[in-house]
């Protein structure tokens, strides 16, 4: 597939399925689409035809094109930081609204819920999670994962908890059921999350109206071009309360027009109430 | 009758002898009579006896023959009697024999030796027969029992085989079924299966199933490989049968109480000389040998089944493992691909940022004086702007301390800044610097410590801007400002004096107006009342404070404002105010009464501002 094909593919896909990849980082989306088309062993036109005929095929295609890498308590520093400084600042809130934008298979959402439960904030939180792939959303709702050594929840959880200020934390088994190499998140946690389909790229309104104290959008922006990154960060800014937090990936940064609207505190961006540059 | 017949025979034979003797006598007599010799002589009968003396014998013959006959008969009778007696005896014996046989047939074998009066061959052989029959019966019975036991074993094994075939995928359930079956079939009280297990290289037996064991006590019971009777049975590969059980070894517990079993049978599960476990059975009654054999045989087939089950389980596990492995590999591959993608995307993102960063750095390089130095002040690198500013050549400043760019008396300050920087505190401020030529320049400096990932300070980044001109200008301005200040003070005093004078004039004028008989009002261009004298207060009935700052229109009736040109000019902005003409107009006082007055308006212009003064005289003359 050459460049024209990929562009053609993206525009056709947008027409046929309302999935818009045109503002995705070109190199990345190019690699993904080329890879997926090769895997499917079908011609571009065959795939596009199938997309207009079969909705589930379209869902599958989208979940294959998008990158869904996630793991429990990924980047332990972020979680330690959340536990030690971000959540304590929200401790006296009556309600903590959290949005996981691009939740993928939900491991991050459940990691967060486990942490909140350990902090005793679980009853205050209102969590919504959105993703572009309906297939991934259904995985997230089911919350059953293969427990491979790559993904050793127990180890990662203990590692995070050992570094937080939380003393005498519960064993992870309080939150998950383990069976035949599969782990399932317990129902109490699953019921806490509202999953919605939402495409960050589209101009469609979010399927909820509240504002948030924390927005998670980790390792999502890297797939978009700078203009789109900017637009999405602007969208988050509108959805955040003053002093709200935006969590982005370890290797991501907020650049461009909205850079000055946030204060970077150890990788967690805090919304700046004033619009001028913040000097420490 | 017998005697009668005997005497008959005697009589018969007596008479038969006598008769034959008589017959023979007659015959001989007749023969003698007929003989020629006798007939020739004509002798008498008596002569005959003479001629034939034997005639005497013949005449005596009937007697002789009678005696002989009798005697013979007597002998015969005697013999018959003897025969009879014999026959009687024989009859009796055969009757006894028949009875004996009948008894045997009826199955009673307990006859004594006195059964027969006399011992002879027959009785001996009869007794032998009896003994033989007795023995064969016993043998038959024994055989029957053996047959039954064989049947029991066969049936048991068959049922056991049935049990072996079900539930072979779950060892626990399987062994429970087996032991339950064994306990039921043997009609004993308690049983348990210990299966051999291995963990961390340590062999042990685990009680996987039990029937009627005290559950609390025995659940999850583990026994080391060579511990106790179980271990012994496993090591010897031989069953152990104990009837003398130690008191505390095992008890059979029921709802009603507990008791020691009477017999204990421990059988190793042997297959291919390998011990797969041990069965332990306890009973209140002793085990029979065939039962032990049966248990041994079941143990054997149980062992081979367990061995094959284990192999099956292992195979299934391996299969599952390999499937899992495959799935895992696929998943991992996908994960790796995704991770790779993420890494690439991240890389690209940071590349993009790097380009941006490069631009920023270049801009900084072009616009600021920048240098990097170590925490002790040793220069690491400088940019062109730096060299240009300090008028040094690049090779001149190599390995120099930044102190050379400061004047001697500022070095102490610099050291303070360096100390702070070492503690991670950045510096931002103005510094006085020295160029190579000794010129004094001023820089706006920003020193920022650069840290590595572990928080150690590796260097200090300095960004500076030349503000010498600004500083000079500031100094200039400062000087001018001082001069200006003096001048300003002088002017201020002058203005103050003139203000005082003006105020005085104003008060004097106001006092004059105040004292006038005519009512006097001043308004500005917007029609707002500025001045309202005592006469005016009297005329309108308003107090001064009610009116000042208000619009002039409040002093006229609405009707008047509408119809009267003069008033209209005075009140509304659009119309021109008629100045210098005395007019008679009605005014409205506080109580709503209309009073006709004479109005004269004068216009005073100060700069661009107009101020209008109205002089009002009451037309009505009070009568007194």
Spatial contact of A122 and A116, defined as CB atoms under 8 Å apart: yes
B337: which chain A residues are within 8 Å (Cβ-Cβ)? 35
State residue B334 phi and psi, 5-degree precision. Answer: -60, -45
Residue of chain A whose Cα is closest to the Cα of B328? A148
Mean pLDDT over B217-236 rounds to 74
Instruction: Judge whether A256 is closer than 8 Å to chain B, CB to CB.
Output: no
Is the Cα torsion angle B455, B460, B463, B467 positive or negative in sign? positive
State residue B620 phi and psi, 5-degree precision. Answer: -65, 135
Mean pLDDT over B475-502 rounds to 91
Asked if B346 and A32 come within 8 Å (Cβ–Cβ), the reply is no
Share of chain B above pLDDT 90, in %: 9
Distance CA A197, CA A55 (A): 15
Task: Determine how β-strand A193-197 pairs with β-strand A125-131.
Answer: parallel
pLDDT, position A150: 56
Q: Give the pLDDT confidence of B13-70 residue by residue, as tens digits.
A: 888 888 888 888 888 888 877 777 777 777 677 777 777 778 788 888 888 888 888 8
pLDDT, position B214: 55
- Number of C-beta neighbours around residue B479 at 10 A: 10
Confidence category of residue A96, pLDDT binned at 50, 70, 90: very high
Q: Give the pLDDT confidence of B262-284 residue by residue, as tens digits.
A: 888 888 888 888 888 888 888 88
Q: Give the pLDDT confidence of B402-448 residue by residue, as tens digits.
A: 888 999 888 899 999 999 988 888 899 999 999 988 888 999 999 99
B348: which chain A residues are within 8 Å (Cβ-Cβ)? 25, 27-28, 222
Identify which has the larger pLDDT, B108 or B425: B425
Question: Using CB atoms and an 8 Å cut-off, which of residues 104-143 of chain A contact chain B?
Answer: none
Distance CA B151, CA B433 (A): 118
- B553's enclosing H/E stretch is none
pLDDT, position B215: 47
pLDDT, position A151: 59
- B549's enclosing H/E stretch is none
pLDDT, position A255: 78
Distance CA A112, CA A72 (A): 9
pLDDT, position A108: 92
Burial of B295 (0-12, 13-18, 19+ CB in 10 A): buried
Identify which has the larger pLDDT, B376 or B169: B376
The complex's ipTM works out to 0.77
Task: Determine how β-strand B594-606 pairs with β-strand B583-588.
Answer: antiparallel
pLDDT, position A3: 62
Residue identified by tokens 């869902």 is: A59
∠ at Cα A226 (A221, A228), nearest 5°?
70
Identify which has the larger pLDDT, B116 or A223: A223
Mean pLDDT over B283-306 rounds to 85
Asked if A67 and B345 come within 8 Å (Cβ–Cβ), the reply is yes
Confidence category of residue A279, pLDDT binned at 50, 70, 90: very low
pLDDT, position A110: 93
Spatial contact of B441 and B466, defined as CB atoms under 8 Å apart: yes
Mutate to test the interface with A, among B322, B334, B341, B449 (most CBs of A within 10 A): B341
For residue A278, pLDDT beyond 50: no
Look up residue A219 and give its two tokens.
Answer: 């390792």
Instruction: Judge whether A204 is closer than 8 Å to chain B, CB to CB.
Output: no
At residue B245, the 3 state secondary structure works out as: coil
Listed in sequence order, the residues at least 6 apart from B321 whose beta carbon sits closer than 8 Å to its beta carbon are: none
Mean pLDDT over B191-202 rounds to 82
Residue identified by tokens 């049990």 is: B163
Confidence category of residue A277, pLDDT binned at 50, 70, 90: very low
Burial of B410 (0-12, 13-18, 19+ CB in 10 A): middle
Spatial contact of B295 and B183, defined as CB atoms under 8 Å apart: no
Distance CA B433, CA B457 (A): 25
Share of chain B above pLDDT 70, in %: 94
pLDDT, position B217: 47
Mutate to test the interface with B, among A34, A60, A67, A259 (most CBs of B within 10 A): A67
Could you give the strand order of the β-sheet that contains B583-588, starting from the edge strand earlier in sequence? B529-532, B519-524, B609-618, B594-606, B583-588
Instruction: Judge whether A167 is closer than 8 Å to chain B, CB to CB.
Output: no
Look up residue B213 and give its two tokens.
Answer: 């064991």
C-alpha closest to that of B240 among B189, B194, B203, B295: B295
For residue A70, pLDDT beyond 80: yes
Asked if A25 and B349 come within 8 Å (Cβ–Cβ), the reply is yes
Distance CA B570, CA B423 (A): 78
Asked if B339 and A35 come within 8 Å (Cβ–Cβ), the reply is no
For residue B219, pLDDT beyond 70: no
Mean pLDDT over B591-604 rounds to 84
DSSP character at residue B597:
E
Mean pLDDT over B550-557 rounds to 84
pLDDT, position B284: 83
Residue of chain A whose Cα is closest to the Cα of B346? A222
At residue B74, the 3 state secondary structure works out as: helix
Q: Is the pTM of this model over 0.90?
A: no
Instruction: Judge whether A2 is closer than 8 Å to chain B, CB to CB.
Output: no
Mean pLDDT over B602-609 rounds to 80
Radius of gyration of chain A (CA): 19
For residue A265, pLDDT beyond 60: yes
Confidence category of residue B244, pLDDT binned at 50, 70, 90: confident
pLDDT, position B216: 41
DSSP character at residue B551:
B
pLDDT, position A276: 44
For residue B130, pLDDT beyond 80: yes
For residue A280, pLDDT beyond 50: no
Asked if A222 and B349 come within 8 Å (Cβ–Cβ), the reply is yes
């Amino acid at each position: 597939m050459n460049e024209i094909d990929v562009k053609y593919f993206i525009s056709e896909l947008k027409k046929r399925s309302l999935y818009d990849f045109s503002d995705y980082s070109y190199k990345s989306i190019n690699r993904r689409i080329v890879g997926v088309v090769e895997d499917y062993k079908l011609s571009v036109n065959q795939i596009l035809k199938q997309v207009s005929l079969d909705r589930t095929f379209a869902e599958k295609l989208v979940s294959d094109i998008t990158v869904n890498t996630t793991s429990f308590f990924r980047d332990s520093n972020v979680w330690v930081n959340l536990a030690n400084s971000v959540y304590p600042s929200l401790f006296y809130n009556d309600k903590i609204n959290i949005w996981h934008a691009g939740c993928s298979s939900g491991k991050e959402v459940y990691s967060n819920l486990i942490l909140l439960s350990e902090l005793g904030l679980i009853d205050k939180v209102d969590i919504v999670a959105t993703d572009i792939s309906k297939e991934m959303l259904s995985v997230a709702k089911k919350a059953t994962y293969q427990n491979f050594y790559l993904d050793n929840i127990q180890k990662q959880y203990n590692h995070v908890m050992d570094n937080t200020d939380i003393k005498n934390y519960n064993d992870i088994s309080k939150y998950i059921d383990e069976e035949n190499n599969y782990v399932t998140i317990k129902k109490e946690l699953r019921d806490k999350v509202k999953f919605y389909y939402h495409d960050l790229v589209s101009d469609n309104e979010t399927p909820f109206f509240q504002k948030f104290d924390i927005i998670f959008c980790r390792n999502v922006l890297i797939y978009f071009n700078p203009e789109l990154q900017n637009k999405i960060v602007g969208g988050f800014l509108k959805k955040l309360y003053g002093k709200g937090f935006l969590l982005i990936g370890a290797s991501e940064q907020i650049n461009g027009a909205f850079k000055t609207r946030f204060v970077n505190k150890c990788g967690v961006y805090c919304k700046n109430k004033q619009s001028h540059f913040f000097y420490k | 009758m017998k005697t009668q017949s005997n005497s008959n025979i005697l009589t018969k034979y007596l008479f038969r002898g006598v008769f034959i003797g008589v017959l023979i006598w007659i015959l001989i007599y007749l023969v003698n009579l007929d003989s020629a010799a006798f007939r020739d002589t004509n002798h008498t009968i008596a002569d005959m006896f003479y001629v034939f003396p034997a005639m005497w014998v013949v005449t005596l013959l009937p007697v002789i023959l009678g005696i002989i006959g009798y005697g013979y008969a007597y002998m015969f009778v005697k013999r018959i009697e003897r025969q009879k007696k014999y026959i009687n005896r024989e009859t009796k014996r055969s009757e006894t024999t028949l009875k004996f046989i009948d008894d045997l047939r009826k199955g009673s074998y307990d006859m004594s030796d006195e059964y027969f009066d006399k011992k002879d061959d027959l009785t001996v052989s009869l007794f032998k027969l009896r003994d033989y029959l007795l023995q064969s019966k016993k043998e038959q019975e024994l055989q029957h029992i053996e047959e039954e036991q064989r049947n029991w074993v066969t049936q048991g094994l068959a049922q056991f085989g049935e049990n072996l075939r079900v539930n072979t995928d779950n060892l626990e359930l399987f062994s429970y079924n087996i032991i339950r079956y064994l306990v039921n079939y043997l009609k004993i009280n308690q049983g348990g299966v210990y299966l051999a297990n291995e963990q961390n290289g340590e062999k042990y037996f685990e009680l996987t199933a039990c029937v009627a064991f005290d559950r609390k006590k025995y659940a999850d019971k583990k026994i080391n490989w060579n511990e106790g009777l179980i271990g012994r049975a496993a090591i010897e590969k031989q069953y152990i049968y104990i009837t003398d059980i130690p008191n505390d070894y095992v008890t059979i517990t029921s709802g009603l109480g507990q008791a020691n079993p009477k017999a204990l049978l421990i059988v190793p599960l042997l297959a291919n000389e390998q011990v797969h476990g041990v069965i332990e059975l306890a009973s209140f009654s002793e085990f029979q040998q065939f039962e032990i054999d049966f248990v041994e045989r079941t143990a054997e087939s149980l062992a081979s089944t367990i061995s094959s089950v284990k192999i099956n389980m292992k195979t299934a596990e391996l299969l599952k493992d390999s499937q899992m492995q495959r799935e895992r590999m696929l998943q991992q591959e996908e994960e790796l691909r995704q991770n790779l993608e993420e890494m690439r995307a991240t890389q690209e993102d940071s590349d993009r940022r790097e380009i941006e960063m490069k631009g920023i750095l270049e801009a900084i390089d072009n616009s600021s004086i920048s240098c990097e130095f170590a925490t002790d002040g040793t220069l690491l690198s400088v940019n062109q702007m730096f060299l240009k500013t300090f008028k040094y050549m690049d090779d001149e400043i190599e390995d120099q301390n930044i102190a050379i760019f400061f004047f001697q008396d500022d070095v102490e300050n610099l050291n303070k800044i360096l100390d702070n920087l070492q503690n991670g505190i950045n510096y931002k401020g103005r510094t006085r610097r020295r160029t190579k030529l000794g010129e004094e320049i001023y820089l706006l400096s920003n020193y920022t410590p650069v840290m590595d990932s572990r928080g150690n300070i590796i260097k200090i980044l300095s960004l500076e801007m030349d503000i010498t001109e600004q500083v000079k200008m500031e100094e200039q301005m400062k000087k001018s400002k001082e001069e200006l200040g003096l001048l300003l003070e002088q002017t201020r005093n002058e203005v103050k004096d003139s203000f005082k004078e003006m105020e005085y004039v104003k008060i004097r004028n106001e006092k004059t107006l105040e004292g006038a008989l005519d009512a006097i009002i001043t308004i500005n261009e917007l029609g707002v009342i500025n001045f309202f004298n005592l006469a005016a207060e009297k005329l309108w009935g308003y107090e001064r404070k009610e009116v000042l700052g208000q619009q002039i229109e409040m002093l006229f009736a609405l009707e008047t404002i509408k119809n009267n040109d003069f008033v209209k000019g005075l009140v509304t902005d659009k119309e021109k105010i008629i100045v210098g003409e005395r007019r008679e107009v009605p005014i409205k006082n506080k109580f709503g009464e209309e009073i006709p007055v004479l109005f004269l308006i004068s216009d005073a212009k100060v700069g661009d501002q107009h101020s209008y003064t109205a002089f009002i005289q009451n037309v009505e003359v009070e009568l007194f």
